[in-house]
Structures are given as C-alpha cells and as structure tokens.
Amino acid sequence: MPRPAVPVEAGNHVLPPPDTGTFAEAGGATEGGPRGAALKSFERNPVAAAAPPPLPMQAAPMSAPAPPPADITPASAVEQSTQISFSLTEKVSVAAGQSLVVPLIEHDLPVRQVDLYRPATEPNHPLAAIELTNAAATGLPPGVLTLYQTGERGSEYLGDARLAAFPAGEKRLLSYAVDNKVSIEQHTDFQPSIVKATIAEGVMHLTRLQRRTTAYRVSSSTPPQALVIEQTRLGGWNLTAPDNAERTANAYRIPAMLDAKGNGTTTVVEEQPVQDEVRLVDLGDEQLAVYVAGKQLDPKVHEALAGVAERRQTVSRQQADLDRLNQERAKLTEDEERLRSNYAVMKDDPATRKRALDKLNAAETAIDTNAAAIASANSALATAQSDLAAYVSGLKL
C-alpha cells in the first residue's frame, strides 16, 4: 500500500530575520523587566559558538578523553567602515586534510532571556529569544549563532539565531524558538474623530484625529522572564501610549505588563492627524446634519454650522418649490398643446367648439398663473442663495 510522507517534527525552532536593533526611544527609555536569579549563571557563560547543535546521546564504547583545546590567544580585531577584520597574533599550522577551529573573539557578553512577540513570524505565540548586548570594544560581524545554556546538566542546546552586523554598545534580540507556553490574542479598533474646526472665507478647515488602538491579551501557563511586543509602525501615525516603547526600522517594541502568573493585557495607542477643507456652500443637508448633530466641535463652530444648515434648508425648500412649478408648467403646456390640436380638427358644431375653446382658454390662464409663480419662486431662491452666501462669507472662527 502506498504510504504518505509525513515530515518529522523537530521541535519549535525557527530562524526569523536578523534583528537590526532599535533607534532612540519613542517615549521613555526601557530596559524591560528585572533579570531573574536563574539567569546569573547563564550570563556568565559565552552564548554563541560556531558549532552545530549536539547530536542525540548514544551508547558508545569507552575511549580515551579528548585532549583539552589548545591555548591560543584570540585574534586582534580592526573595525573599519565596511568590515571588521581579524588577525591572529601567532602562526597556526594545519596538517593536510585536517581542519582547525580558531577562536577570533573571547568575551563574556551580558544577556537576558526574553519572549518576543512578532506576529509576522508567529501570530499566536511569542518567540523565545535572548537579548544580547555588545559590551566588547569592537563590533561583531554578521553570521549564524548556535545558542547554548549552562545549567545543572551542563550545556544544553537552545537553538540557532541570525545575527546582523553588531556595533559595539548596541543590543539585539536573537529569536531561536516558539514559546508555546505563552498565547497572545490581539484586537485592533479604529476611532476617527474631529479635534478642531475653523471657518474662514467660506471654507471650514477640519483637523481629524484618527486613533488606532491595539490590545494584546497574554495568557501563560508558565510566566516568561520578560515579554516584548513588536508592532509594525504605520506611516503618518504617532505612538501615544505607552511612553516606554523602543523603535526599530519598521516597528515599535513595547514591554508587556504581566502579573505574577504571566497574564495581562497591553494596550498600544497610535494617532494620525488628517487635515480636511470643506466649502460650506457645497455641503448638502445630510452632511450638515451630521456635523450639527456631532458633539466634537467647538460650540461657536457648532452654532455657525447650525446657522448654515438653517439657511441651506431654506435654499433647498425654495429649490424644491421651483422644481415642482417647472414640472407643473411642463404638464400644463402639454395639455394646452393637446387641446389646441383637438380644437383644430373639430367639426362645425358650435356647442362642441365652445366647450373646447373654454378648456383651451382655461389652460392658457393656468399657464400664465404658473409662469407668475415660477418668477416668484426664482426670486425667492435667489434671495435665499444670496442670504446663504452672505452668511457663509461673513463667518470667521
């Protein structure tokens, strides 16, 4: 029977893009939570080595212990504008067909364990990571790191991480695995509102403040050492809360506020100001009604718009009356033409011709009356429009 191929699950190890560090803080500075006591021994040991992860333990025959590594002085580093070059302080000989690992850097660098929530890599769980600070005198070149942790059972393999060019004095978050013990849900809400409105020369200038609120709800079976939430930065938006976020090239990094059990909610608020210009005479009744009904405007602007709405409604009523009279005139003209045609083809019956002539005279009288009403409606509409234009042009708030 054919059997499907099923990939072997190899744990939660991931290899996200290399971290390029943070810029100056958007608000106050942040260093995350305090370092736990369990990390002290971890911080005192090197965290990176150019070696693959250890192989699974297998039974092997007893053999002589491996000799200790040679005592070789680390290379001297020269940091230039485009690269970091290393020069060994002494000559090293390697036999043909053999290989040799030579230490270039021998430093203890401060680290701490954190969880990094990066939705683009894993939407439901954070990434286990270490925060590495380059306390060396020179920068470190880019590469792939194999991470180990020293514990009671010796060195344990954590995972692999990518390192970008790492200048001295900066810090990086090196992600290496998915932390399934921590789950994160996020919800985003948009709230547009009007902050300020001014009126001059018949134009209303509106300043709208759009607000984007993202809530991250964290639930954990085991409290993480610290949790950093990474949220993508949007062009034109400003972060207003919290005030202790750091900025990367395209994201904010916010330390999450968690309780002793590792649960909590972190809210991130961003705002974007938008400028609009509206000619008041172009506003329709429905648009004006929305502005008048809103409570965000200054009372003086609200009163001015109410005056515009009142005059705009007068214009609309006069226009509706004129439209009705024009429709009535079209109907009267059509009836008059029909009566005139009927009268022209009638026979010489005096009584019938008299009735048709009376109807024709009545139609012409109705047309004359309608014409007078249209003239009056046009005059009233012009007056209302002039009143609206004068009122709008006189507003200055």
The ranges of the chain with pLDDT < 50 are: 25-62
pLDDT at residue number 69: 61
pLDDT of residue 52: 39
Segments in the chain forming alpha helices (H): 40-43, 285-293, 299-344, 350-393
Contact between residue 25 and residue 246 where contact means Cβ atoms under 8 Å apart:
yes
The pTM assigned to this predicted structure is 0.58
Q: Taking Cα atoms as reference points, which of 367, 382, 371, 375 lies closest to residue 318?
A: 382
239/189 Cα distance (integer angstroms): 15
At 133 the pLDDT is 92
| Per-residue b or e along 167-185, where b marks 16 or more CB atoms closer than 10 Å to that residue's CB | eeebbbbbbbbbbebbebe
Tokens of 227: 């949790």
